[in-house]
Structure 1
Amino acid sequence: MGLGCIVGQDLIQRSLASKNEKIAKYSAITAGVCYIMVGTIPIMLGLAGRLIMPGLEDPEHVMPNLAIEFLPPFLLMLFMGALISAIMSSADSSLLAATSLMTNNVILKIFPRVKRKNLLPLARVTTVIVAVISVGVAIRVKQIYHLMVNSWATLFVGIFVPVTAALYWKKANKLAAWVSMVSGTATWLGYIFLNTGNFQEISDPIFYKAAAYGGAVAFVSYLIVTLLRYDRIKPTKLPSEYPPA
């Protein structure tokens, strides 16, 4: 499911903002290496927390409890501030990414005559709506781990195959992308609901199997549609500019 992060819009937008292709390439590689190095720190702290605090009821409280137990007040304040800053940084990137996708890839497709001067107010309203929905989902889901796994699985089963095909396969097309996204997501959701009935009482094996089946169906459906229908599909023309002002 980690493959879904590769096509995350909040990550891709950083590469697209690079000055040139070389900077985009090497900055992405450097960021990946740094991500692995920095990512091992909370893993090691989590493993240490299991040994130091074996009776902890909620494993998601390991980091705060370790900080409260071993850090002096001043360093504890810095730690909490850094933690909140990291959360806010990730949250605003995700909100802007979702807003961009909804505005440019959904709303403008449904209402292509929207003028450019109306895009900013539209994006602001979309941001508020996405934020409210996100808060509702966060309140409903009991564990952050399950929420994150579902987020990555959504990208993996719905977007990873079409985006990868668009980058590396000349026969990539819109019809196959739609079929892949719909079939992969439907398979993922269907497997979860058939085995649990909801998203709150799911064991890890069901998470991983659902994502694996969804990804496999997305890949196979994309391949079949492309091979069977490619000769009848007109190449997709990318828009050269935003709607007129």
Structure 2
Amino acid sequence: MTSLFPVLLYLVLSLLVTRFWSARQSRRTDEDSGLYTDKAKRFFIGGAFLSGPLLALTLVATYTSASSFIGGSGAAYKYGLGWVWLALIQVPVALLTLGVLGSRFLAMRRHQHVTLIEWLDARFQNPYLSTFAMVSLVVGFIAMISVQFIGGARLLSGVTGISYELGLAIFVCTVLAYTLTGGFRAVVLTDALQGIVMLLGLFILLLVILSQPQLPEKMQLLAQQTPALFSPHSIDDFLSWPMMLSFWLLICFGTMGLPHTVVRLLAVKDKASLKTGIIWGTIICFFMTLIPHLCGVLGRALFPDLSVPDNIMPTLMSGLLPPLIAGTLLAAPIAAVMSSVDSMLLQSATSIVRDGMVKVMPNLSATKQVWLTRLVMLLITLSACYWALSPPDMIVWINLAAFGALQAVFLWPIIAGLYWPSITGSSALAAMVSGMLSYLLLQTQTPLLYQIHPIVPALLCSLIFMLTVQQLTCYFARRHSVA
């Protein structure tokens, strides 16, 4: 229990620091800008305040979550260096998201969109599309939040020795304290602080692992016993070229369709911030991707007999460090989990209130909107906590499945909505529905067909349906005009 104290101390201090920082930045923005003067909009999006470094930190910290720190290191523990190579394709995420989508969203800042679905609704003017998007977002985020809860609980349990259930309770209460006491601005500033802590903690853990005198000998022994762990394609050619290429589509190109990363673009300060964010985001993403996955491979040599691969990170910290230092270092992966779950929790609750309840009750006051959002946050947290009570051995597959589902729904409508002025709401809705249905259908196929991840045929199906409906719409519109 000794190592639990520094974790709790860090969580309390970071809560106080980020709330003070948020209040100070909010006052400064209110004085310098007339944007988002509505109380509800300030809570939901916080104004155009994201500068380059802050944008990079919050973008990467939100994207890098328990899937990388816990699930990613666990997958690298099981599959070896091939998984590290697979994971590194995530490095251009900031370049894609900010470079391809950023300037387009920045040009629309005058419309003061608060959520991604609010923008989709304004862009396509299709109530069925916005409703389908909202339901997909909330369901997908609940699954991803459950993964974060599992990761956080395993970290606390593995390092401190407390039970999984108690670790889950502590983590859930912490999440509620972070999200209920602040809006989007507070969440973003928390992400920035967590991102700094993550980087420092990762470098320290890697140095501790590399300083182990028995590491070279054990790595050599591991290479002799299981040489496939050092192959690009892993054991039994699991990471074949079709698998690799399709996964690269899932965790790189497809990230432009993840709502919790795209929503950051609604709060970008200016074009200079986008350019700086691309540079810093790429550098930060490289280290945040490489180090935890590399730790998983090195941990296989030091602790070769783990029955649950996701336990490698807490095992490394508790097994190589004194309890007090292990508890202090635990702040890094806890920060990774927190920075993702607070963003998804706020966005899913905001979508239900702003994109659902406000449409039914347009006269709902700003104060009531904020109060209802906090209530919905509580309900979503309880739902995710329920699913986290029975965790699987490896959480990476659940997180990637939710990633793919969100991409199948949002990727083509977002890109087409920004770059194709004549695209209709019916075409975008066809892309959403066909993408989701085909992805869910393909998820039931085991093993994977031709070792290709379902995201590839799902995105292809979504694109074909969008183009087909668009052509049919244009054809009937021309016939109607002639008639």
Q: Could you say which residue in structure 2 is the equivalent of 1:101?
A: 351
The one-letter amino acid of 1:167's match is L
Residue 56 of structure 1: how far off its partner (Å): 1.5
Kept after mapping to 2: 8 A contact 1:175/1:225:
yes
TM-score (norm 1): 0.80
2: CA distance, partners of 1:215 / 1:141: 29
Q: Could you say which residue in structure 2 is the equivalent of 1:63?
A: 313
Moved more, 113-122 or 78-87: 113-122
Moved more, 98-107 or 46-55: 98-107
Q: Could you say which residue in structure 2 is the equivalent of 1:49?
A: 299
TM-score (norm 2): 0.43
The one-letter amino acid of 1:85's match is A
Q: Which of 448, 457, 463 lines up with 1:213 in the alignment?
A: 457
Change (3 A) 1:42 1:22: same
Q: Could you say which residue in structure 1 is the equivalent of 2:362?
A: 113
Q: Which of 263, 266, 277 lines up with 1:27 in the alignment?
A: 277
Which ranges in structure 2 are unaligned for 5 or more consecutive residues?
1-249, 478-483
2: CA distance, partners of 1:103 / 1:231: 38
Q: Could you say which residue in structure 2 is the equivalent of 1:72?
A: 322
Q: Which of 403, 406, 430 lines up with 1:179 in the alignment?
A: 430
Residue 157 of structure 1: how far off its partner (Å): 0.9
Residue 67 of structure 1: how far off its partner (Å): 1.3
Kept after mapping to 2: 8 A contact 1:5/1:155:
no
Residue 114 of structure 1: how far off its partner (Å): 4.5
Q: Could you say which residue in structure 2 is the equivalent of 1:199?
A: none
Is 1:170 paired with 2:170?
A: no
Q: Could you say which residue in structure 1 is the equivalent of 2:397?
A: 146
The one-letter amino acid of 1:219's match is L
Please give the secondary structure, in 1, of the residue aligned with 2:454: helix
Identical residues among aligned pairs (%) = 23
Residue 154 of structure 1: how far off its partner (Å): 1.4
2: CA distance, partners of 1:148 / 1:228: 36
Q: Could you say which residue in structure 2 is the equivalent of 1:155?
A: 406
Larger radius of gyration: 2
2: CA distance, partners of 1:67 / 1:85: 15
Moved more, 123-132 or 33-42: 123-132
Kept after mapping to 2: 8 A contact 1:16/1:24:
no
Q: Which of 36, 43, 48 lines up with 2:286 in the alignment?
A: 36
2: CA distance, partners of 1:128 / 1:80: 26
Note the alpha carbon deviations across 1:110-135, whole angstroms, 9 max, x for none. x1634243322232222122222222
Q: Could you say which residue in structure 2 is the equivalent of 1:124?
A: 374
Residue 207 of structure 1: how far off its partner (Å): 9.0
Q: Could you say which residue in structure 2 is the equivalent of 1:241?
A: none
Is 1:15 paired with 2:259?
A: no
Which ranges in structure 1 are unaligned for 5 or more consecutive residues?
197-202, 234-245
Please give the secondary structure, in 2, of the residue aligned with 1:27: helix
Residue 31 of structure 1: how far off its partner (Å): 1.3
2: CA distance, partners of 1:101 / 1:37: 32
Please give the secondary structure, in 2, of the residue aligned with 1:209: coil
Note the alpha carbon deviations across 1:85-139, whole angstroms, 9 max, x for none. 3212221111012122233334444x16342433222322221222222223333
Please give the secondary structure, in 2, of the residue aligned with 1:19: coil
2: CA distance, partners of 1:85 / 1:165: 34
Residue 76 of structure 1: how far off its partner (Å): 0.6
Change (3 A) 1:206 1:148: farther
Change (3 A) 1:141 1:129: same
Moved more, 79-88 or 151-160: 79-88
The one-letter amino acid of 2:290's match is T
RMSD: 2.5
1: CA distance, partners of 2:365 / 2:474: 34
The one-letter amino acid of 1:191's match is L
